Amino acid sequence: MNNLNEIESEKYISLETYRKNNQPVRTPVWFVIKNDLIYVVTRDQTGKVKRLRNNQQVKIATCTIRGKVTGEWMSGTAKILTEEETQDAVKWRDKKYGFMAKIAKFLSKSKGQLLAFSIKID
């Protein structure tokens, strides 16, 4: 069941990415849904980006701020976006998360450039 409408109003999803040894790593992330894709904005020096460059397969589920999973897991494929697409994703994220997004941008500066990826649910 690929019903993204059900998760759109949620604040966090748990993003499961995979290390080279296929060990899963789960990270709670903010997200925006546009055109049946899930968009996540992060920084290019983060672990999840490193893992995505090796393996585009991901799983997502709704979760709490602390990463406690509250929804069903869905499998998908991530795609790292161009700079232009990233700018759009940042705008959407800032609109959804408002002031908190500005704080997050400031606090995560040391993790490199802003980078976004999309997730297409299988």
Task: Note whether 41 and 116 are within 8 A (CB).
Answer: yes
Alpha-carbon distance 74 to 43, whole Å? 23
- 9 residue type, one letter: S
| β-bridge mates for residue 41, sequence order | 116
pLDDT tens by residue, 75-113 = 999 999 999 999 999 999 999 999 999 999 999 999 999
Q: Give the helix ranges, DSSP H, for the chain.
A: 5-8, 47-54, 83-97, 99-107
CATH of domain 5-121: 2.30.110.10
| Domain spans, the chain | 5-121
Residue 57, helix vs strand vs coil: strand
- CB count within 10 Å of CB 115 equals 21
Give the pTM: 0.95
5, pLDDT greater than 90: no
pLDDT in tens, 11-47: 999 999 999 999 999 999 999 999 999 999 999 999 9
End-to-end CA distance of the chain: 9
